[in-house]
Structure 1
Amino acid sequence: MESDVSNSCYYTHNVTFFYDNVGKTIRENWTTRDLVVIGLGLTVCLIVVLANLMVMVAIFMNRRFHFPIYYLMGNMAAADLFAGVAYANLMLNTGPWTRMLTKEQWYIRGALIDISLTASVANLLAVAVERHQTIMAMQLHSKMSKRRVVLLMVCIWAVSTIMGLVPSKFWNCECNLNDCSIIAPLYSRRFLIFWAVLNLLTFFIMVAMYARIFIYVRYQSQYVSGHTYDMQHRQTVINLMKTISMVLGAFVICWTPGLITLLLDGLLGNRSHANKYEKFCLVIAECNSLVNPIIYSLRDEEMRRTFKRILCCLCCRGDAGHKKPAAVAIDSPLTEESIGSVLRSDNRE
């Protein structure tokens, strides 16, 4: 029986064998177009890494961002930074170079992309749950302890790593060539269906949660008095929610085409012609990792000021001995009581 299993599996075959099995061609020579795409792609990856690193540094330096919601957003920036590294690794191991990859290297290449996506989705879901709990409890920030936030972030990366390793360890097509994906020729089509459906379902859950939060905030804002103090804090809540919703919207827009393509590949196989859209979807997905720092810069004035301070510190390090740098951790952060006065104001009516 063990002999039959070993004969039906293809553990000793290389990557090229599985590509040939699904009819996916590995080019032997580079074209000018390929080199231009890789050059631009690596440039974008470098910008992605630096931009998201700046977000993480800003959240670390500024006391106004020392709340669970911003820690989770910083963890999301770490996922985007990781995505930049994953895309760079993909571009350095694609085209004719694919032939030189061992199966282990090929699985690692795909696992990095899987981990970055899973981490981003898990962080977005954690942010959605945190916002739902705090806003419904009439608070601006969660009372979750830093220890619990750190534990949550560790769990997010642990789950993401497990999801990235599943195809190489358990759920591939090395023992069932008819189940091989045409986009990722060593992946099981059933795994792609599971992964795509799971992420799309998570998208719908998050969108529903944010829709409920917005309806609740709009309803509560109708009862807020016209005092300037109340109006300012009401606007703080709405601005924060808009920023997070834009991040979620950008993620859904950038990743949905790729997930639908994977779903079609899993359901239809060669009939889906998924290879025609693969690279297009990958470019859109890569852009998402660059979008979030731009959203933070445009939507959050405090984040924008912190970015400027960081850049000024980097540019003026030579003058550090003559001029004391401006402190980033200025002013006390917004208190939960302030937003409580806004959301509970209807009790005074």
Structure 2
Amino acid sequence: MTNRNDSLFLRALRREPTERTPIWLMRQAGRYLPEYRATRARAGSFLDLAGNPELACEVTLQPIERYGFDASILFSDILILPHAMGLGLGFAPGEGPYFERPLTGPADIDALPMPDPLDDTGFVMQAVRLIRDGLPDQTPLIGFAGSPWTVATYMIEGRSSKDFARAKQLLLAEPEAAHRLMNHLADATAAYLSAQVEAGADALMVFDSWGGVLSPRLYREFSLASQQRIVDQVREKHPATPIILFGKGCGQHLELLADTGCEGLGVDWTMDLSEARARVGHRVALQGNLDPAVMLTSPEIVAAEARRVLESFGDGPGHIFNLGHGITPAVDPDNVTVLVETVRAASARQDA
């Protein structure tokens, strides 16, 4: 098989029968792999690694070469786009990302430029092209971006936050400015994702890591609406490219997310897939949802919990096995081997 359209991953996204459940992992190119750490050391910094197309390609291919995952995901960062808007992205050791020039009010929002995907983030598109050339022909490549709300939290807070007080304050006290920011980010993200498709991405994913911290009203008005805007714009330009929406802590909004017209929903580990499937039916594929903490345990527990996730989804098409969030740095790579082998053996079907 050399046609990616017939790959297990893309067929599962279309809710078509598959011989077994496809598997890939969020952050599968990452610090749990010794080969990644070696490349990262050569790069000098995370930003230098993400900004170097050849090295980004190298680390993207590493987990495919080691495990043969059923899909690959571009190695990059959700904050590349605001970095291209001039906010000055940096990474503090042990603390994570920060912006040198965070947004302080409506005037800063209105002054944000609209990045050109090919000029301002051209290194990402070059990485996509190199990865596509380096992947096995049958392995789909996933492009991605952060949701406007999630990206905005970093732009407003300046770094990661425990309570998102400043970001929420903007939504509540300056809703018109907040809408302008969400629309600006949605438009920039749609153009960025479309450029990834044109460079060679076979599917797209939007990560809404902090959607779950919002009240239902604010979630609908700002996070969900901006994701809908992205789906609509990408769908207009690339109707055949499937989109997966992943919202951490967003289980209560599954039906609304399914209504966006996306092909798949990432589900975190706080909800059984059986419940998620009962609520959205056959409208979308479901991706997930093993608790990443399971990967820190024994091979026996990893295998048992993987089978539990498969049993929770049940029979029928439309499941892509993944973690409920990204794999963590302390995971033993051998446990990933156990996970992949267990999912493939336990989900093998004779009637697909």
TM-score bracket for this pair, using the shorter chain length: under 0.3
The alignment's TM-score, normalised by the length of structure 2, stands at 0.25
* Structure with the larger helix share: 1
Higher relative contact order (CA 8 A, sep 6+): 1
The alignment's TM-score, normalised by the length of structure 1, stands at 0.25
User: Of the two, which has the highest radius of gyration?
Assistant: 1
